[in-house]
A and B are shown apart, each in its own frame.
Chain A
């Protein structure tokens, strides 16, 4: 299963600080272990929210663009990875091995087919049947 790993922002990350050389080296070593275990599908850091945007939708679909930075530092995301692991427990154990300090990491299972309930699955299947019934240009 895939798990999205969300590294939360800190005051330092929001200030655009990258951390010390030691912190970098420790993180590199950790990432290397993850890659050597065949776990990593994607991983990237994000710029601080001062360089980000938000697009808000009202009930009618009108949009408002809001420039960063945003408040509630602890709720913001500073980086993400997508891991392929056997279980959420494995992902948790991996995170515990990371050299991060004084922050929080959030783990979220990526939705897959098994997560949809049967009625929704049936709905998708029906929509697909309709689409497949339409004549195609070539088999």
Chain B
């Protein structure tokens, strides 16, 4: 096979696969079957295009082949059903001949349906992520497995189980409406953001594969924002991811260590992503901007807008964390607020916020609470108390590098 054709097929697949699977799913009513048919068409392209050349309209070619396979599949099923009928059992009415169904070139709504179906809440978030990357982003099972550091067979099994679960539950291929929409949308956004974070917080594995995950997530987010343009949180999530990703180049040092925000070389931030992210945040705010992704994006934007770390608007960040606490009721967010308050109003004010967290059961074994308190106490010159907090934090963390860092701080307090 010529490598040029192989490369062309890779490019075509990236562009066409989501539209292809989505268009097929609308016809056959089952995303699992649609994905199988699309893969059959891809195999046919890999066999035929090196000989015949890439067709003028590769998307239509793939669709035609996949539909033909679909007709065969349904005929086989129909034959089986006739045999079943002979046995005196009932025939189902799923016999619409596919050739009579017109293919609609405006498949964008189908792609949106595909995203909602792949991210159905009946699936675990891991299953949603796998299906979305496979069916919407067009990644291969090997690529997804590599990015998530699991065996290809494990990932393949996860994808198969997820497809079966959707088929068995008879999940309709549609965009939910009314009250259901908000829940279903957050299920999609959660999966997209998990893909992003998997790449962003990578501490192990092949770095390049992980950075690609951030790009895939941003791309999925932008697709969602374009297709569900009326939903503020879709734009907000894109803004959040883009502004965070703008720092990717600056957040790793020469030895691969994490460089914290205040020490990053801001000249290395990706200005294009910041510009796009801030514009996208504006759009989110025009039509809402009060959701949790919007607040997080606004916080990220405060950092992005500061030319130097000392220019950061901590008063606004502390206030935004207050909004986020009110929305999420999360003690971990409250701990973040404590840090922001300490930057805005000094360590004593921040420490007072953490006092309110001491009795929270969810944080009892959370090392960052004593770690933050140790830092604030040290700044206040209360070194004995700071040392005790750092020692407690060191006991609680499971990360060796972090434990060493905390013990060092304890002994220097």
Q: Give B266-288 interface residues, CB cut-off 8 Å to A.
A: 272-273, 275-276
Q: Is the CB of B15 within 8 A of A37?
A: yes
Q: Is the CB of A41 within 8 A of B272?
A: yes
Tell me the complex Cα distance, A128–B268, Å: 11
Min CB–CB distance A61 → chain B (angstroms): 23
Q: Give B216-239 interface residues, CB cut-off 8 Å to A.
A: 218-223, 226-227
Q: Please pick, from B14, B111, B273, B310, the residue contacting A87 in the complex, using a CB distance under 8 A.
A: B14
Q: Is the CB of A84 within 8 A of B219?
A: yes
Residues of A within 8 A of B219 (CB): 37-39, 84
Tell me the complex Cα distance, A86–B208, Å: 12
Tell me the complex Cα distance, A92–B15, Å: 11
Q: Is the CB of A41 within 8 A of B276?
A: yes
Q: Is the CB of A90 within 8 A of B14?
A: yes
Known A89-B7, A90-B10, A137-B310; judge A125-B262 contact (CB<8 A).
no
Q: Is the CB of B108 within 8 A of A87?
A: no
Min CB–CB distance A97 → chain B (angstroms): 8
B11 proximal to A (CB < 8 A): yes
Min CB–CB distance B213 → chain A (angstroms): 12
Q: Is the CB of A94 within 8 A of B15?
A: yes
Q: Is the CB of B10 within 8 A of A87?
A: yes
Nearest A residue (CB) for B7 = A89
Residues of A within 8 A of B12 (CB): 93
Tally of contact residues, B, Cβ under 8 A: 33
Nearest B residue (CB) for A126 = B254
Nearest B residue (CB) for A1 = B215
Q: Give A16-57 interface residues, CB cut-off 8 Å to B.
A: 35-42
Residues of A within 8 A of B265 (CB): 128, 131
A138 proximal to B (CB < 8 A): yes
Q: Is the CB of B272 within 8 A of A113?
A: no
Known A36-B227, A41-B276, A42-B276; judge A89-B11 contact (CB<8 A).
yes
Tell me the complex Cα distance, A39–B310, Å: 34
Q: Please pick, from B220, B254, B272, the residue contacting A38 in the complex, using a CB distance under 8 A.
A: B220
Q: Please pick, from B15, B249, B263, the residue contacting A93 in the complex, using a CB distance under 8 A.
A: B15
Most B CB contacts (10 A, CB to CB) among A2, A85, A90, A92 go to A90
Q: Is the CB of B14 within 8 A of A35?
A: no
Most B CB contacts (10 A, CB to CB) among A36, A84, A85, A112 go to A36
Nearest A residue (CB) for B259 = A132
8 contacts between A and B (CB under 8 A): A39-B222, A41-B272, A41-B276, A93-B8, A94-B15, A112-B249, A131-B265, A132-B263
Chain A residues packing against B (C-beta within 8 Å):
1-2, 35-42, 82, 84-87, 89-94, 97, 112-114, 122, 125, 128-129, 131-132, 136-139
